[in-house]
Amino acid sequence: MIKLTFCLRRKPGLSLEDFQDYWLNKHGPLVRSFAKDLRILRYVQLHSLDDPMNQGMAASRKAPSAYDGVAQLWFKSMEDLKENARSPAARAANQTLLEDEDKFIDLENSPLWFGEEHTIVSD
């Protein structure tokens, strides 16, 4: 199983509330509409909370500012991802999603990467 993790920062001038609303109610359904073309098995949005506890935890570790959210997408294999690169439908879907992401995500300051998940604790 391969997971794409995308740590999101909102566009300057966009409130956290507006960012998270657009991401959940506009972009989320758009991703869902392309899930089959892109071979996405699972898509999860983790929305950061605007809570003083976050600042306290970050200060205790001298951590950088938090992300506004994290998107996680699961794929069966790297071969499925390579197949997406060969598929005209997947390439078109990725282009549409990128154009939409550029409306609300500060792409230059939002890292993303593919990784392999290793579960350490599970109930």
Q: Which pLDDT does position 117 carry in this prediction?
A: 86
- pTM of this structure: 0.88
C-alpha 34 chain-centroid distance:
15
Reference 102, options 8, 35, 5; nearest CA is: 8
Buried b (16+ CB within 10 A) or exposed e, 31-63: beebeebbbbeebebeeeeeeeeeeeeeeeeee
Q: Which pLDDT does position 72 carry in this prediction?
A: 97
Chain segment 84-109, per-residue pLDDT in tens:
999 999 999 999 999 999 999 999 99
Q: Which domains does the chain have, with CATH numbers?
A: 2-116 (3.30.70.100)
